[in-house]
């Protein structure tokens, strides 16, 4: 009889513990808002939630990368617009310089204006992205791309493009090579010539006195070459500007796709991990009922067993 009573007691305690454990777990689910408290609760769903969480984290990082790219594109686009304005102003000055009624002092005044354009252009070519990285230095973001060495403005960057991961399958360049933008310009008579050299040459031409017919010929030739070179430089800048615009438009599309993915991932994670509150509360109520019933049954059984034993 004693063995039977001990077995009955242990079975009763085990049943009570199971009911209490189930109730505690349901309470933890409700308080945490999570259906899965440990991987063993639902291994398949847990593994899937981990995959979705990783994809969601990557999507969030891509969104951050796109914001960085958007900031760079805004600065880059503004800089290229400023470069365009400087080149157009220089072109206008060259038109004035071709006026046959100008004297030497008039041409020197235009040369002074163009020298200001040249200095402004060098400053724009050395603009940074706001975080200290130069826009036009290629991979060498911390290297000042252009400097006047005394023998003309020289380039110290490279031709690399700094890429950011804008989505799982797309990278976008957030800078431009200064060599492509300012140096690799088709020149009058063939070959290539930097826009800085074109401006420097025409400045030198305008500062020379015009006395003889040979001087007039040299002036006309110099102005003609400069006008062609600056037109080519402007075309090149506009081409690069258009390329930046295309990337900005693509960035908008990628942002829309990223926002859609963000919603999808959040919904999937909610379905996999979040607790169903109505179902959990219903289960908790049922568990309380079961626990109370088990407790009452345990008390009755143990009471009878003790009575039988005493009798």
Residue 41 gets which letter from DSSP? G
Q: Look at residue 191 and give its three-state secondary structure.
A: coil
Average pLDDT, the chain: 86
Judgement on whether residues 235 and 293 belong to the same structural domain of the protein: no
Burial degree of 90 (CB within 10 A; 0-12, 13-18, 19+): buried
Do 248 and 103 belong to one domain? Answer: yes
Q: Are residues 119 and 166 in the same domain?
A: yes
Spatial contact of 12 and 304, defined as CB atoms under 8 Å apart: no
Q: Same domain, yes or no, for 185 and 306?
A: no
Q: Give the model's pLDDT for residue 30.
A: 67
Domain membership of residue 101 (yes or no) is: yes
CA distance 182 to 158: 13
Q: Both 13 and 129 in a single domain? A: no
The answer to the question of residue 15 being in a domain is yes
Place of tokens 């599309």: 253
For residue 1, the model assigns a pLDDT of 43
Pair (111, 133) in one structural domain: yes
Residues 30 and 39: their CA atoms lie apart, in Å, by: 17
146 neighbors 155 (Cβ within 8 angstroms): yes
79: domain CATH number is 1.20.1330.10
Residue 42 lies in a domain: no
Q: Which tens digit of pLDDT belongs to each residue from 205-228?
A: 999 999 999 999 999 999 999 999
88-144 pLDDT, tens digit per residue, is 999 999 999 998 889 999 999 999 999 999 999 999 999 999 888 999 999 999 999
- Kindly state the greatest CA–CA separation across the chain: 143
Question: Is residue 41 predicted with pLDDT exceeding 80?
Answer: no
- Whether 17 maps to a domain, the answer reads yes
> Is 216 found in the same domain as 158?
yes
Number of compact structural domains in the chain: 2
Residues 242, 151 within the same domain: yes
> Whole domain around residue 98: which residue ranges?
62-269
pLDDT at 31: 63
What confidence score (pLDDT) does residue 7 get?
A: 66
* Kind and range of the H or E run holding 172: strand 170-173
Confidence of residue 272 (pLDDT cuts 50, 70, 90): confident
* Per-residue confidence band for 311, with pLDDT thresholds at 50, 70 and 90: very low
Question: 0.85 cut: is pTM over it?
Answer: no
Angstrom CA distances, 234 to 79, 104, 228, 239, 307, stand at 13, 28, 10, 9, 106
């Amino acid at each position: 009889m004693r063995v039977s009573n001990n077995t009955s007691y242990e079975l009763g305690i085990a049943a009570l513990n199971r009911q209490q454990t189930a109730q505690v777990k349901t309470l933890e689910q409700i308080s945490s808002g999570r259906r899965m408290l440990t991987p063993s609760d639902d291994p398949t769903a847990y593994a899937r939630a981990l995959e979705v969480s990783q994809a969601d984290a990557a999507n969030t990082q891509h969104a951050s990368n796109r914001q960085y790219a958007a900031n760079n594109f805004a600065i880059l686009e503004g800089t290229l617009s400023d470069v365009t304005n400087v080149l157009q102003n220089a072109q206008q000055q060259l038109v004035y310089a071709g006026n046959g009624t100008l004297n030497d002092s008039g041409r020197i005044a235009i040369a002074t204006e163009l020298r200001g354009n040249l200095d402004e252009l060098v400053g724009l070519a050395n603009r940074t992205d706001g975080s200290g990285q130069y826009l036009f230095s290629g991979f060498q973001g911390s290297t000042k791309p252009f400097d006047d060495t005394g023998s003309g403005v020289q380039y110290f960057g490279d031709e690399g493009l700094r890429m950011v991961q804008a989505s799982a399958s797309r990278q976008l360049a957030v800078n431009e090579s200064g060599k492509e933008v300012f140096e690799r310009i088709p020149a009058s008579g063939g070959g290539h010539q930097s826009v800085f050299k074109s401006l420097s040459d025409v400045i030198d031409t305008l500062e020379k006195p015009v006395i003889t017919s040979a001087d007039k010929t040299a002036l006309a030739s110099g102005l003609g070459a400069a006008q062609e070179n600056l037109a080519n430089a402007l075309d090149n800048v506009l081409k690069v500007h258009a390329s930046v615009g295309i990337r900005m438009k693509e960035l908008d599309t990628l942002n829309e796709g990223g926002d859609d993915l963000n919603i999808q991932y959040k919904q999937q994670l909610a379905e996999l991990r979040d607790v169903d509150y109505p179902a959990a509360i219903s289960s908790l109520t049922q568990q309380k009922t079961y626990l109370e019933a088990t407790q009452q049954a345990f008390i009755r059984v143990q009471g009878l067993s003790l009575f039988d034993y005493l009798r």
